[in-house]
Amino acid sequence: AQIKKILEEVLETDIDFNTSTENCDAWDSMNQVNIILEIQEAFNIKIPMDKAMSLNSYQAIQEYLQTTK
């Protein structure tokens, strides 16, 4: 739920589990950076830059966070 809230705030649109850079026009490279920054802050983690760029969907972000806890 926290991931969804972050994504909706940054992208300024409603999202679902299938939302990604492929199907959401608002999810551009600038918003990708903002999403990663917000997630790092919310979950108190540091995401390596090479990994950050591959976190381009709700599902990918959720799976990554499950493996880092």
Q: What is the distance between the alpha carbons of residues 66 and 29, in angstroms, rounded to a whole number?
A: 24
Q: Is the pTM of this model over 0.85?
A: yes
Task: Annotate 7-29 with DSSP letters as a single string.
Answer: HHHHHTS---TT-BTTT-TT--H
Q: What is the pLDDT along the chain (69 residues), one digit of tens a residue?
A: 899 999 999 999 999 999 999 999 999 999 999 999 999 999 999 999 999 999 999 999 999 999 986
Please report the pLDDT score of residue 27 as a whole number: 98
Please report the pLDDT score of residue 69 as a whole number: 66
Please report the pLDDT score of residue 54 as a whole number: 95
